[in-house]
A and B are shown apart, each in its own frame.
Chain A
């Protein structure tokens, strides 16, 4: 197969063009994949950050961002069910944020009891589990410029009430265009002018020994007018809503598939052109008695070498470029395994692209070798 390698080395410009084409296609796949996974992760990030075993929501709530109010008696009823050792509340609603410079910005205010989980962003005093900062707000670090927060703490207003942004959190950027702002449940009810004990989600932690299914059955008997989800179910429901109901996720998925198809066309054209350029050599090989398999192997080896080099280059280019994209798309996320799983499609792409080339190489008339 020396001929395959030497042909590649001989025509470096064409090799470089093919490798760049594949690298671009692979990068496109990884980038679109990162958008898709980042989108999914952001869609359920808040739900996944809680420690709750069960979530209670109003009937028909499709995702975390679009809740409905629950009756205040539900939390008391929940606390009375055996197997529950803790209950916390979350409220969320869009609110008007007034920047330090006086400009307005629509934000998604999220208020939670400290019981919802240690990983959940609420402004705690010196890392305390239960003590919360009065008037304290937390924002995602990617939103500080949008919210005009040049220094912390900064005094701002939420729905016309005085508040103070005391810190930042990471990984809670929103794709809705309205940044999340986190605060305690009590402060949130004040900013949103809600009554005491009003909630949109009730989060329950279970006593060891009780299963979610057991407790859910009991809760359903007592609270037939609500939906009760395990955390995993509600997380999946939120992701599914955004991916299937809004079209945004579907658009990203289609873009990833288009990336693959565009790559396929680029690679096909380059590999076919390389084969056509070497058609006389394939005719010579056939005249010299080379078997079909010998010729197929040369075309395939060239295609796979291009595929491997292009895939590696594409993967290598992804990390700095995704990092650069994070400045504008903070929720983009590349799982560690995503670059690896794009290599087989990259090679498959080359394999598919080489089919037309193999056909051209096999059909060449060997008698043309006598033409001067």
Chain B
């Protein structure tokens, strides 16, 4: 097992210039393990999403280091970061980010197309059925509820089976029942499939599903504790 499966060391990120500059992350060091669902909470502007962007290789920190599967990635080029995201990281977004012109099934199989492994239709069907969307495969995002869209987004991630899954407010747009369903699903991905799952959320309903709770405020970690999920 790599020591630095997914970690940031003394990472700082700022936005803007001169007097308008705001520090989103201040010297943050965190490490995430496979098989755990880590919940990052904090008020708006605390740096949660910035931290997720740094962990997901979407943003390079101004200072500090980022490790993904034991590889230092903060200094690598755009093409290498894209490759890393393609092979090792899956994302679940608050706004689902499904492709509006594609059916649920095509939204899932596009993940294989991006990874250069087309023809994963059967696997995609199985995943959608497993997530209770067997009868919704041919619907487009506009024809589905928020919970259904988020499950399609999760199926899109699972079809490439990445070792790291990063979720940004995945239940913010969902009702209680749908939120519960998504929480259980991501917990299963972490505990059952041994993936490192990092969830950013304001929603305290996530707490029972988290192996670890991290609280950020003003770009700093003010609490980091393990708990019984």
Contacts and interface: CB of A to CB of B under 8 A. Distances in A.
Contact of A292 (B79, B102, B110, B168): B79
Interface in B88-114: 89, 91, 93-95, 97, 99-102, 106, 110-111, 113-114
Contacts of A371: 95
B213 to A, nearest CB: 21
Contacts, number: 80
A217 interface: no
B141 to A, nearest CB: 11
Contacts of A287: 56, 58, 85, 91, 97
B53 interface: yes
Nearest to A1: B113
Q: Residue among A288, A367, A369 with the most chain B CB within 10 A?
A: A288
A77 interface: no
B90 to A, nearest CB: 8
B115 interface: yes
B86 interface: yes
A285 B114 CA distance: 8
Most interface-central of A287, A290, A291 (chain B CB within 10 A): A287
A6 B98 CA distance: 13
Contacts of B145: none
A10 B52 CA distance: 32
A287 B111 CA distance: 11
Nearest to A7: B101
A109 to B, nearest CB: 67
B100 A284 contact: no
Interface string A331-372: 000000000000000000000000000000000001101111
A289 B102 contact: no
B83 interface: yes
Contacts of B185: none
A362 to B, nearest CB: 10
Interface string B153-173: 000100000000000110011
Contacts of B82: 286, 289-292
A281 interface: yes
Nearest to A366: B58
Interface centre among B83, B113, B173, by most A CB within 10 Å?
A: B113
B59 interface: yes
- DSSP majority for the A interface? helix
B87 interface: yes
B101 A370 contact: no
B49 interface: yes
A284 B114 CA distance: 11
B110 A3 contact: yes
Contacts of A11: 101
Contacts of A2: 102, 106, 110, 113
A2 B95 CA distance: 22
Nearest to B109: A2
Contacts of B99: 3, 6, 281, 284
A363 to B, nearest CB: 11
Contacts of A10: 100-101
Counting contact residues on chain B (CB < 8 A from A), the size range is: 20 to 34
Contacts of A284: 93, 97, 99
Contacts of A367: 53, 58-59
Of B91, B111, B168, chain A has the most CB atoms within 10 Å of the CB of B91
Interface in B171-217: 172-173
A249 to B, nearest CB: 48
Nearest to B142: A10
A323 B40 CA distance: 71
Contacts of B100: 10, 281
A369 B97 contact: yes
A194 interface: no
Given A3-B110, A290-B82, A372 B94 contact: yes
A6 B103 CA distance: 9
Nearest to B97: A284
A1 B111 CA distance: 12
A289 B87 contact: yes
Interface in A1-54: 2-3, 6-7, 9-11
Contacts of B89: 289
B110 A370 contact: no
Interface string B56-80: 1011000000000000000000010
In this complex, the member of B83, B93, B173 whose beta carbon has the largest number of chain A beta carbons within 10 angstroms is B93
A6 B102 contact: yes
A210 interface: no
Contacts of A372: 94-95, 169, 172-173
A68 B59 CA distance: 81
Pick the most buried of A2, A281, A370: most chain B CB atoms within 10 A of its CB: A370
21 contacts: A3-B101, A3-B106, A6-B102, A7-B101, A10-B101, A284-B93, A284-B97, A284-B99, A286-B82, A288-B114, A288-B156, A289-B115, A290-B86, A291-B114, A292-B82, A366-B58, A369-B93, A370-B49, A370-B52, A370-B168, A372-B172
Given A2-B110, A6-B101, A285-B114, 11 more contacts: A2-B113, A3-B99, A3-B110, A6-B99, A7-B101, A289-B114, A289-B115, A292-B79, A371-B95, A372-B94, A372-B172
4 nearest A-B pairs in the assembled complex, by CB-CB distance: A289-B86, A10-B101, A6-B101, A289-B85
